[in-house]
Amino acid sequence: MKKLLSILFFTYVFQSFGQADTTTVKIPTDKIDSTNSSATTIGGGMNFDYAHTEKYTLGPIRIEGADNFDPQAIKLIAGLRQGDEITIPSDRISNAIKNLWAEGLFSRISIEAEREVAGVIYLVIKLTPRPKLSRFRFTGITKREVDKIREEVDLSSGQTITENLLFITKNKIRGHFQEKGYNNITVNITQIQDTLINNSEIFFIDIDKGKKVKIKEIIFDGNTTVRPWKLRKAMKDTKKRSIMRIFKRSKFSYTAYNKDKGAVLDKFRGAGLRDVHFAVDSVYKIDSRNLGIYFKIVEGQKYYFGDITWIGNTKFSSGLLDTVLGIKYGDIYDKPLLDQRLKQSQDGRDISSLYMDRGYLFFHLDPVEVGVKDNHINYEMRMVEGKEARVKNVIIKGNYKTNEHVIRREIRTKPGDLFSRNDIIRTQRELAQLGYFNEQGFQVNPIPNPQDGTVDIEYVVEEKSADQIELSGGYGAGRIIGTLGLTFNNFSVKNIFKPNSWSPLPTGDGQRLSIRAQTNGRIYQGYNFSFTEPWLGGKKPNSFTFYVNNTSFSTSTTIKKRDPSYQGVGISGAGIGLGRRKKFPDDYFSAYYELAYQYYDVRNYSSLFPSFSNGYANDISLKYALQRNSVNSPIYPTEGSKISFTAKGTLPYSLFDKGKDYSTMSAQETFKYLEYYKLKFTFEYYMPLTPNKKLVLMPRIGFGYLGAYNKAKGLTPFERFNLGGSGLSGVNQFGGREIIALRGYDDNGLSSSAGDPIIAKYTLEMRYPISLNPQATFFVLAFAEAGNTFTSFKTFNPFNVKRSVGMGVRIFLPMFGMLGLDYGWGFDKLDPHSSGYGGSIDQSIDSKGYFPKFTFTIGMNLGEL
């Protein structure tokens, strides 16, 4: 019998990023038995014959060096269990070491045999745990960048430190900054022993971003069909440095570069070059601050569309599908266009929308190329229409503030209805119009149920603050005016008496409550209160509005109203309105009806009302407004239009006063009950100029007319139009005037002092968003405006207008609403002696007649017709 095996020693050594390499058996030369060439002494002087294996029974297994680990778990991972039969030597021990190493928890693993007693072998597993990460620190970058990096890297206290962890951490940091244009970044991680925590290390991560690297040149070689400037335009995020790129830098990003390479190839494919490819696409370093990009393009042959055959269509005829597709035999082969017309047209003109808007959610279309003849590609459109799917459940998530019934009443996809993608898109628009949710955060998740042919639709919304507070100071009429306004756009009346609903106010039912006060002391005071219920009764979108207002203005702070020398105006009023969403011609139309009463009290104020300087007047009016609004967003619209017609008027009292001679009557008797009719028409359209719908062109036109029933009685001194400035001069609104903005000119500087009955205004704006964050939407604009007011139809000329151009910014803050600042230049010099000019020439007018002006606005459409 051979000598007993006293010690069996296996050591498994791994190198390079935690990957298993080799099994190393250490053989001390002083322990080799030279008398037996087949026996080898391993470890502590034992003899072991590799030529002959021995079977043993595993005895108790002892664990060393892993005090913080569960011994039973280590044994389980190693696959060694007391009582098992084991052959030595065999791969049983090496496999156990591999299993333990795969956990990534240890830097050194060995299994030794302590002794053997009566065929029972006692093993000990010796482990050296890897150090743990106690904490880490960044140097070389700002605190803000540190916060961003912490979100990117996967580091946490107590994490086991491996070579792989170091490698991944460095790569993530490099990738983060390279996406921002820092292509020369270096990252060094220094590991320091933490003396406070056993077997732990501290990471000191030093980051040297270097200088930003920009793209100096983009070279295309081999292209003959598509011009280089069109290819550069197709690359949306990979742009070379240019003086025209003011708001965006020409940084290099591999993610954007790979995406833009596909866009370049699509440009060629859209020209029929199906086989186009890059022979070379290279990014090279020009110097430490600049990169260059080189493309060698192989265009290949030009192809055309051949015969297109529809297979499997039963719902729609092949002729109708051909019409929707809009591609004919012989058209230049355009694969992106084909994909767009089949599945993803932005205007809804595609085969997929045709089916999905009619309930065919399970519709599937597979375009197959069946042959190429004379460079004409023939297609078979193989489709499976499937069954019509009906909506089963509508699920709403994310609304912690707005009550669910407020959301559900705007949803167009009702349980039991046929599935319609168009209804989902319309629902997104209606929810965006509420103003309670982040438009960029909407998610719609159709959940098909093929077993019963139904679909659940999940709407995920992201609440945002809808309430607004206005606390501001302004300057008008030579005085400083303070304003305090509170607007609650998601109010709930029924929860007023529920203390638990106040957080800080009762909200969630979609009602609108507004309170606003303006004053500069005794000279001017204005108060407004309004309340709107958008769904009166809760079953139909019929709105109810109630408002009251009171305004007073005087020329002196010392003279009281009871004094005969008091000069001022007071206006008090109230009104109720009903709104109704129409279904014809389509459900973008809405109508609004209003009954209002205004009481005017004028005391010795001939400077503003020459024809009515003293007395009181009653204004009982009816208003009808018809509007079609299809814009897709209330804050930053990118498509759609808004058309509005408004008619407002009083009863023709003079028809009941036949025989009266108004020329002999006093102003008090003439205007005791105001009579007039007022018509307005406005139109605005939003047209995206770029595929991403960021750059938007917005034209707007507006006309207004104030008429009289009786020429002898004449026009009412109130309700006239004043044009010019920002439309924000609140102190002038007390006169019952409609203040219309025209940037680049003085407030009210384009109308007569008494106001005018006819107005025309034209606006053209180009807008671009800097940030669409719901917490602070910010966009810039350039504008061209023209407009004028006219005293009568005899002087009316829609082309006789005052023109201006300029630029501005708009900032929407949920707490304050829309804030605007514009700088405009008026082109037309005003004649102080003409009938259309009632202001004074401002000192800012230069010798050429230009009017450089800053204007400030608060509100979405304040100052518009």
DSSP-assigned letters across all residues of 291-339: EEEEEEEE-----EEEEEEEES--SS-HHHHHHHHT--TTPBP-HHHHH
pLDDT for residue 265 is more than 80? yes
Give the SS3 label for residue 239. Answer: coil
pLDDT of residue 480: 63
pLDDT of residue 347: 66
Q: Which residue carries 């089916």 as its tokens?
A: 355
Q: Which domains are assigned to the chain?
A: 9-129 (3.10.20.310), 132-208 (3.10.20.310), 214-298 (3.10.20.310), 304-384 (3.10.20.310), 390-460 (3.10.20.310), 468-555 (no CATH), 567-719 (2.40.160.50), 720-865 (no CATH)
φ, ψ (nearest 5 deg) of residue 829: -75, 135
pLDDT of residue 854: 86
pLDDT of residue 247: 56
Whether residue 544 contacts residue 555, with contact meaning beta carbons closer than 8 Å, is answered with no
φ, ψ (nearest 5 deg) of residue 301: -85, 160
pLDDT digits (tens, 9 = 90+) for 85-133: 888 777 888 888 888 888 888 888 888 888 888 888 888 998 888 888 9
Percent of the chain with pLDDT over 90: 41
> 806 exposed, middle or buried (CB, 10 Å; 0-12, 13-18, 19+)?
buried
pLDDT of residue 292: 92
pLDDT of residue 114: 82
pLDDT of residue 840: 40
- Helices 71-78/91-102 angle, 10° precision: 120
pLDDT of residue 787: 95
Whether residue 326 contacts residue 341, with contact meaning beta carbons closer than 8 Å, is answered with yes
Whether residue 647 contacts residue 621, with contact meaning beta carbons closer than 8 Å, is answered with no
Read off the pLDDT of each residue in 705-723 and give the average, rounded to a whole number: 91
* Residue 735 to residue 751: CA distance in whole angstroms: 14
DSSP 757: S
What mean pLDDT is reported for the chain? 83
Helices and strands: H and E segment counts in the chain: 12, 39
For the chain, the straight-line distance linking the first and the last C-alpha, in angstroms and rounded, comes to 111
* Residue 448 to residue 236: CA distance in whole angstroms: 35
* Residue 770 to residue 747: CA distance in whole angstroms: 29
DSSP 357: T
Read off the pLDDT of each residue in 755-778 and give the average, rounded to a whole number: 91
- Name the more confident of 377 and 103: 377
For the entire predicted model, the pTM comes to 0.67
pLDDT for residue 666 is more than 60? yes
Task: Please confirm whether the linkage preceding 652 is cis (ω < 30° from 0).
Answer: no
* Residue 560 to residue 210: CA distance in whole angstroms: 72
Q: From residue 125, give the alpha-carbon distance in Å to each of 62, 97, 118, 363, 438.
A: 6, 9, 21, 61, 58
pLDDT of residue 275: 92
pLDDT of residue 181: 83
Sheet with strand 200-208: strands edge to edge: 159-160, 132-139, 200-208, 186-193
Q: Which amino acid is at 547?
A: Y
Q: From residue 400, give the alpha-carbon distance in Å to each of 458, 495, 727, 862.
A: 16, 16, 38, 32
Distant-in-sequence, close-in-space partners of 783: CB < 8 Å, separation ≥ 6: 743, 763, 764, 765, 766, 805, 806, 807, 808, 822, 824
pLDDT of residue 241: 81
pLDDT for residue 257 is more than 80? yes
